[in-house]
Amino acid sequence: MSEILVIGQPEIVEGFSLAGADVETCSDPSRLEWRVMDLLRGRSHGIVIITEELYESLPEKVRLKAEESGRPLFITLPRPRGEDFWTEQEDMITRIIRRAIGYRLKIRR
């Protein structure tokens, strides 16, 4: 079993299995909600990556529990969206670093 689990549409997550990550295909938000709660109870993976579209379909209560979790660490896999894409990615990376080390870093190019 891998420390990393990737959840999303088949065409997106297939490549992660080649890198050694566990993958699960999912397109049903209610099934995802159940799976996230199961992952929070079991803590079988260290990192859970969920496609952004699916993650946003989760109820706010479940998203908050996932965001507050130390293990597993939930990360969204964003889809590119125009000119602001890299700025948004830097913000996301900054939030992840702050959660991991408890300190805010400024990322410079």
pLDDT at 5 exceeding the cut of 60: yes
Query: 23 and 71 share a domain?
Result: yes
pLDDT at 89 exceeding the cut of 80: no
More confident residue, 23 or 106: 23
What are the tens digits of pLDDT across the range 37-69? 999 998 788 999 998 888 999 999 999 999 888
Per-residue pLDDT at 97: 67
pLDDT at 28 exceeding the cut of 70: yes
Q: What b-and-e string marks burial along 62-96, b requiring 16 or more CB atoms within 10 Å of the CB?
A: bbeebeebeebbbbbbeeeeeeeeeeeeeeeeeee
Per-residue pLDDT at 80: 55
* Residue of 4, 32, 31 lying closest to 17 (CA atoms): 4
The total domain count for the chain is 2
pLDDT at 13 exceeding the cut of 60: yes
pLDDT at 102 exceeding the cut of 70: no
Query: 96 and 68 share a domain?
Result: no
Question: For residue 13, what are the domain limits?
Answer: 4-77
Query: 31 and 45 share a domain?
Result: yes
